[in-house]
Every structure is written in C-alpha cells, then in structure tokens.
Amino acid sequence: MRLDLSLGLILVLLAALAPVATNDYQLSFLLQLLLMVALAQSWNLISGMTGYVSFGHAVFFGVGAYTGALLLVAGHSWWAAVGWAALIATALALPIGLLTLRLHGPYFAIAMLGLNEVGRTVATLWVDLTEGGDGIALSPALLPALETNYYATLFLAVLATLAIGVVLGTRFGLELQAIREDEGAAEMVGVNTTRDKVIAFAASAVIPGAAGAVYAYYTSFIDPLSVFLPALNIQMVAMVLLGGRGTLWGPVIGVVIVMSVRELTWAEFPTLHLALLGALMILVILFLPEGILSVLRKRRGPGSTRLAEECRQQGE
Amino acid sequence: MDLLQPAILLQLAIGGLLAGALYALLASGLNLVFGVMRVINLAHGELMIAGAFLAWLLYSLLGLHPLLALPVAMVVLYILGFYLQRLLIERIVGRDELTSLLVTYGLSIILMNVGLLVFSADFRAVPALQGAVYLEDLDLVLSKPRAVAGIVSIVLTAGVYWFLKHSRTGKAIRAVSEHAEVAMICGIDVTRIRMVTFGLAAAMAGAAGVMLTTIYSFSPETGADFVLKCFAIIVIGGMGNFVGALLGGLLLGLAEAFVSGFLSTQWAEAVAYLLLVLVLILRPAGLLGKADAA
C-alpha cells in the first residue's frame, strides 16, 4: 500500500512537471497517454473488477465530448462544462446499467456492443443539436490552453487511478471482485450484486464523460465518428487486459504498452495497429489471463489484490 | 401515398421475409456454435465478410457468377472454420463466457483490420444479378437479387436443419449440444464434432456473405453491423436454439421492412437494437434459455 502510494506520488509529480520540460508535441503525447489512463481505469472499475465486459464504453466519452462542446459554445466556462459532461454521462449510465446489469455477463456485453453505434447514430441524426456529420468546431478564443487541458487530463487520470486504489481496499471492492469470481456465491453470502454492479457502472461513466469534454477542447473539433470511436473501445479493453484486469497498476502498464505500439505503427498503418492489438488480446487471454502485472507480481510477492488472491486460492 | 394498401403491405412483408431469410442463415450458424460449445463468436460477421470478399474476388478476377462462387466460398470457409476451431476456439471451449467473448472479439478485430489493410475501407458490390420482376397477379415487384438471395438462404438453412435432424453427423452435433460428456461416452469424437460444427457455421456465414454481395455494398467493417443483428436475433429466438434463430431472423427482417416503409431506413437500422433491448427488459429471465441450464 505504502509502495503504491509513493510510486503514485512520484509519477504524479513527474507528470505535473512535464509541461516545463517538453515541447507541444511531446506534451500532446503525454496528454493522450493520461487520457487513456483515465479511460482504462474507468473501464477497469466496471469490467476489470466485476468481469462484466463493457464493449461500448466510448459512448460515455462521446456523450461527454458533445456535452462539453455544446455547453462551451453556449457560453459556459470550460470547467463547468466538464462537470456537466461527467454528470450527464453518469445520468445516462444509470438507466442503462439498471436495465442491462440484471442480466448475466454475456447479455450485458452484447447489449453494450451496440451502444456506441447507437450513440453515433443519434449524434449523426439529431442535426438540430449536434450539427450532424458536419461536426462542431470550437472557436480558439473559447478554448483553454494546451497546458490547462493537460492538467485537467492529469487530474482525471489521477482521480480514476485513485478510485481504483480506494475501491480495492474497501468492502465494496471485495464485493465487486466476489461478483467476478462467482456471482451466485456472492449473492448467497448477502452481497447485493445488482446494486453493486450498477453503482460501479455509473461511477465508471463519470470520468469518460469528463474526459470526452476535455478531449473536445484539446482537439477543438468533434464529429460523431471522432468521439464515438470504435477503436477507443478496442483500446480500453486491450489496455486493461494486457496490464491486468482488476489491479491498480495493470491498466497503467497496459496504456504505456498500447500507446508505444501505437506510436510505432500508427502513422503509417492505423489498421495494422488495431490488428496487432487484437492478436495481443488473444495471446494474453490464452496464456496470461491475469495480465502482464501478474508476472511481475509473482517475482515481487503479493500486491494490493492480495485478498482477492487469497479468496481465489481458498475457492479452488 | 397511402401505406395501408394491401398491395404495399404485401410488398413490405415479402421484402422483409426475403431479407430475414438471409439474417436467419447467418444467425443460425452463430447459434449452432453457441449451442454446441457455449462460445459466443463475435467474429461471425467477419467470417461472412470473408465470404463476401471471396465472391467479389472471383467475380472481378474470373467473372464467376455469385451463384457459382457460392459452393467455392462455402468450402473455403468450411476449411477455415474447421482449422480456426482446431487452433484457437478449441482452447476456450469450457472456459467462462467472458473468455470466449474476449478471444473472439480479438479475432474479429484481427480479421476486420487485416481486411481493411488488404481491401481498404471502400464499399464494393457484385452487380451480377440485377433488375426486378413484376408479378402481375399479385401486383408485386420483386427485386431479382433480393429474391435469389432470400431463396438461396431459405434452401441452405432448411438444408442444414435437415442435416442436423437426419444425418449421422448432424445427430452427433445435436448430441454434443445436449450433453458433451454423455456424447463422448457414447463414442462420439467430440473434438472433431466441434470442428465440423464451427466449419459448418463458417460455411453458412460465408454463404450469407456471397449472397450479401448481390444486394448490399459492403466493406470489411460491415460485418460488425450484421453480428449485432445476429445477437438480437438469437436473444429473441433463444440462445442455442436453431429454429429460434430462424424465426428470429424472419421477425427482424419483417420488422425492419415495415419500419423502413413507414418511418425511414435510418430508423430501420436501429430496429435490431431496440428489439434486443426490449426483449431484455421484458423477458430477461426467459431469454437465458439454454445458456442458463449449462
């Protein structure tokens, strides 16, 4: 725990000082990296912890991006707009969660699979609100500076990681992991599984909503395809699986790996990059189901998921 | 235009059933795989698109008619499915559904993006069957490619149904679907049956893909739309239930035809998803069907 905390503090300190030592291109890369950390940790909260895989989490990012952009245009300050984006994404997640999380995992996954497409279709067809396929261009006068966006993203990434750290140490976190290991048994010992899942799901939409808004300010232009982005769903799943689902640092490691692969292949072969992610995903699931972190952890002794490991061993 | 005229309703119904037959062909394959090995194959749509590109290649390189490409694509996809099962899917049989979802999700991402790399995101079609026939007695216009695609789909789905019902291998497939261990005790080579099943499902998807080329334009990304419709269909019809998939497919085709007739084609695209969500709300427990018993 203390190790996690000091490691976290060092990383945050380094990230906070980064704008001094980097040019705009490097800072942009770091911003995208932190954005992915924020998204991956949010996905980790529902899918990594409970095993309920959301294939459509980009929908909350897209809703947040549109909320943030439209409110900024309407004259709100950027930070108020970010707050509203988080709120609206969460308000949307709540009924969706109530509806789909009563079902067994595969049904939830299937229902989420199409949700991002629904979001994109609505954004395309509701022209009066969203300008449809033309997208929304934000005037530079309204936009916060790159450094401001960077610090906002850093804040979200820290918040999302902190949330995982806190949840892992509480009864709620154990309940979520119990749902992943054996939902029927969790129910039997008195865990209100539906309530827990819905809370985790709604909470997992907060930061993607806010991050969508910050992303809109960062790129200054959004359209349905750029924010309801299927590749974003793939990346979220791949990053968390690679690093280790349901762990504190796994998603961060996953993000660094995926973003590095992206830097190496993105410019020339965006599709090759995704194909590689697909292959990595299969290999990890088959041969390293606990993610890369589990290999490191075996060498170093148990980490923050010790309790879950113990429960699992007792179960076997 | 008065949409409630019997002639127009009939027109919409026939069009819907023909489109639904194609869905049924695709969804029955998906459901067959789920029934036999409890694997939800998210890459099923990409297998369909593989069939579509095969037909497109055969047409544009050799001028082969899609109806002649049909058996070729089915054989190629059967072999592909057979070995996919052997190399990859067999490893996840018996593991939790999450694992199978994630592995087949990875597979679909690979297939789609390799498709994009090789064929680009351009939309293509095979203009082999064109035109329409006017049936005077019924006051009905039938688009030729849609009619042919619908009829081929019905024949193939019925053929597979007959195969499952009456052939020795088909009976073995059903036995494994009902209880793999008992089937094994009875001397059925369960591993081989799973390979045959996945091959058969891939061949059905490939056939659907070949017929697709004559009625829709498609790209490597089209598979994802269809696989979502397939899930709606098998959730409606009951997971693992072959006949359920057939009925669910026809139902979705009809619903889409009427929605696009009365509202717009864009709304029709949302029908599958709305139906899926509606069924999930109204009958969540009843829908688990065989999946729950496993």
A168, part of any domain: yes
User: Which residues 70-129 of B have a C-beta within 8 angstroms of A?
Assistant: 88, 91-92, 97-99, 101-103, 105-110, 112-114, 116-117
Q: Three-state secondary structure along A250-267?
A: HHHHHHHHHHHHHHHHCC
ipTM > 0.90, yes or no: no
Q: What is the pLDDT of residues A121-180, one digit of tens each?
A: 888 888 888 887 788 888 888 888 888 889 999 999 999 999 998 998 889 988 998 888
Could you give the CA distance from residue A191 to residue A187 in angstroms, rounded to a whole number? 5
Q: Is residue B287 part of a domain?
A: no
Of the pLDDT bands very low, low, confident and very high (cuts 50, 70, 90), residue A302 is: very low
pLDDT surpassing 60 at residue A309: no
Structural domain count, chain B: 1
For B222-254, the pLDDT digits (tens) are 888 888 888 888 888 877 778 888 888 998 999
In a domain, A29, yes or no: yes
> Would residue A204 count as lying in a domain?
yes
Give whole-number Cα distances, A278 to A237, A272, A285, B255, B270, in Å: 10, 10, 11, 34, 27
Query: Are B199 and B79 in contact, with CB atoms under 8 Å apart?
Result: yes
Contact assessment for residue B46 and residue B112, using Cβ atoms and an 8 Å cutoff: yes
Q: Which two tokens stand for residue B14?
A: 């026939």
Q: Pick from B230, B36, B98: which is nearest to A108 by CA?
A: B98
In a domain, B185, yes or no: yes
What digits encode the pLDDT tens for the residues A164-178? Answer: 989 988 899 889 988
CB contact (8 A) between residue A117 and residue B225: yes
Domain limits at B171? 6-11+22-221
Give A183-224 pLDDT, tens digit per residue: 888 888 888 888 999 999 999 999 999 999 999 999 988 988
Q: Given B88, B231, B270, which is nearest A121 (Cβ)?
A: B270
B235 found inside a domain: no
Picking from B205, B211, B210, the residue whose alpha carbon sits closest to that of residue B160 is: B205
Contact A53 B281 (CB under 8 A): no
Per-residue pLDDT tens over the stretch B45-65 = 999 999 999 999 999 999 899
pLDDT the model gives residue A87 = 95
The verdict on residue B290 lying in a domain is no
Binning pLDDT at 50, 70 and 90, where does residue B110 land? very high
pLDDT of res. B3? 63
> Of B98, B112, B284, which has the smallest distance from its Cβ to A103's Cβ?
B284
Q: Which pLDDT band holds residue B294 (cuts at 50, 70, 90)?
A: very low
β-partners of residue A222 are A136
Test A230 with B224 for CB contact under 8 angstroms: yes
What proportions of chain A, in percent to the nearest 5, are helix, strand and coil?
80, 0, 20
Residue for token digits 């829908």?
A: B287
Residue from A52, A110, A234, A240 whose CB has the most chain B CBs within 10 Å, to mutate: A110
Instruction: Please report whether residue A18 resides in a domain.
Output: yes
Residue B265 falls inside a structural domain: no
Shortest CA distance from A105: residue in chain B: B98
Residue B1's pLDDT is 54
Q: Residue A98 belongs to what domain range?
A: 2-229
Number of domains in chain A: 1
